[in-house]
Amino acid sequence: MEKSKKMQISVIGSGYVGLVAATCLAELGHHVMCVDVDSAKIDALNAGETLIHEDCLQELLSRHRGIRLFFSTSIQAAARQSQVIFIAVGTPSAEDGSVNLSFVEAVARELAQSIDGYKVIVEKSTVPVYTSEWIQSTMTPKGRKQVEFDVVSNPEFLREGTAVTDFLYPDRIVVGVSTPRAAGMMREVYSSLIDGSYAQQASAVPKPERARMQPMYIETSPRSAELIKHSSNAFLALKISFINAVANFCEAVGADITEVSKGIGSDSRIGPEFFRAGIGYGGSCFPKDVAAFRAVTREFGFEFPLLDEIKRINEEQRARFIRKVSSALRTLKNKRLGVLGLAFKDGTDDVRESPAIKIIEQLLEEKCQIVAFDPVAMERARQILGNKITYAPDAYAAAEGADALLILTEWKEFTHLDLGHIKCLLRYPIVLDGRNIFSQAEMAQAGLTYHSIGRPSHEASHNLLKKGHIAR
């Protein structure tokens, strides 16, 4: 097996994508400088902090920090000493859903002033099609001598919570590149993943059971790579909205979405992933990327109304859930609700675009009192909700004296709760599960009245029969 070459790399941006990419590139053996303009973040990283809750990250940071992973605020110094420069800065949404590229632009301008020899500039941030060409032109204003560089699009597909293993054991690595020189350097960056040699190292982060030993390495044009990223996220969001719409119809006809999604997803052309019905998707990517994809198609005069529908179904899913709470309790005003889960999904402390937070905000407007618990996202939730809600030390404290218990994040530990004890603590034995983490049988056994998504209660089926909607 050919020994892979170690490269000098910098990663600009120390957010979820930047920090994980920098750490994992160091894990692949490269010498990495991670740069951020926020000196407080860089000081914290240099002092040994991890900043985000992410499996395996702390361990890898301790392994490489000060050895081949360094943190700095100087783009110039990092750029000069690097062969490959990843841009992983934030790309927030503008009001119309389009992407605000001002951070990318600032980095591109600074790189143009800093680089002094051939560099590969890699866009890792999620950006619309044509951004690599735009970076290219931003870095070479008219009249200025052209510095030698290539811009590559290398989208990231990592999921929060499993970001490290997603990076080290990806399904595919997509590299949008327009010159053989840059293509060769990108293959070197990922060589130990491409040939599978990383996974064979004794110190390697263990491979998740279902991950591939060697990823597909897909070389495309930069435009295609940019489009692959937006379309992939839009398609996953579409799967979730589709199954949520089917779940709603299940409720109307008395079918069970768990059975239906298993039946659909077992067709290998469709696949079982991203088919969990619930209160809709959230997070820093899906809502933003669906909107950004829509905005860029519009910019090119292309109609893509399916993207609007994905978003509409997602938003309606939260409204439906609130209606369910309201009808289970008859009225919302002055109700005390225990809430389990604040993060946008399990395994992360991220609350950006969290369906849980959005539902809580709506319930507060309806004058409910909220007592919430999340295993790791309480601090981040407090930054948004402040003292408008009460933060419980554990799940049982959230349930105590509540008129109903709401499950809003799919944390596995919630499935181990003592349901008998929950029933004793609740004022009324009502559980509304927005993530379908329990079976109806175990809830019935615990004596709890259980409402979930797309799995109608016996009461609902009975009503359908009475209304004559079901042929006998």
Residues at the contact surface with ligand UDX, assessed by CB under 6 A: 156-160, 233, 236, 240, 274-276, 278, 281-283, 285-286, 344-345
d(Cα 344, Cα 161) in Å, to the nearest integer?
11
d(Cα 326, Cα 312) in Å, to the nearest integer?
21
Nearer to ligand UDX, 79 or 225 (CB): 225
Is the separation of the CB atoms in 101 and 125 below 8 Å? no
Nearer to ligand UDX, 232 or 390 (CB): 232
Is the separation of the CB atoms in 349 and 376 below 8 Å? yes
Is the separation of the CB atoms in 337 and 426 below 8 Å? no
Nearer to ligand UDX, 149 or 242 (CB): 242
d(Cα 402, Cα 369) in Å, to the nearest integer?
9
Minimum Å gap between C-beta 422 and ligand UDX is 22
Task: Give the end-to-end CA distance of the chain in Å, rounded to a whole number.
Answer: 67
Q: Which residues pair with 450 in a beta bridge?
A: 431
Q: Which residue has the tokens 């590559």?
A: 152
Nearer to ligand UDX, 14 or 138 (CB): 14
Handedness of CA 314, 315, 318, 323 (dihedral sign): negative
Nearer to ligand UDX, 24 or 426 (CB): 24
Nearer to ligand UDX, 23 or 83 (CB): 23
Minimum Å gap between C-beta 171 and ligand UDX is 10
SS (H, E, C) the chain: CCCCCCCEEEEECCCHHHHHHHHHHHHCCCEEEEECCCHHHHHHHHCCCCCCCCCCHHHHHHHHECCCEEEECCHHHHHHCCCEEEECCCCCECCCCCECCHHHHHHHHHHHHHCCCCEEEEECCCCCCCHHHHHHHHHCCCCCCCCCEEEEECCCCCCCCCHHHHHHCCCEEEEECCCHHHHHHHHHHCHHHHCCHHHHCCCCCCCCCCCCCCCEEEEECHHHHHHHHHHHHHHHHHHHHHHHHHHHHHHHHCCCHHHHHHHHHCCCCCCCCCCCCCCCCCCCCHHHHHHHHHHHHHHCCCCCHHHHHHHHHHHHHHHHHHHHHHHHHCCCCCCEEEEECCCCCCCCCCCCCCHHHHHHHHHHHCCCEEEEECCCCHHHHHHHHHHHCEECCCHHHHHCCCCEEEECCCCHHHHHCCHHHHHHHCCCCEEEECCCCCCHHHHHHCCCEEECCCCCCHHHHHHHHHHCCCCC
Minimum Å gap between C-beta 8 and ligand UDX is 26
Nearer to ligand UDX, 276 or 324 (CB): 276
Minimum Å gap between C-beta 257 and ligand UDX is 11
Nearer to ligand UDX, 160 or 433 (CB): 160
> Which one of the listed residues 34, 56, 250, 285 is annotated catalytic?
285
> Is-catalytic flag, 285?
yes
Nearer to ligand UDX, 71 or 281 (CB): 281
Minimum Å gap between C-beta 164 and ligand UDX is 12
Catalytic residue list? 285
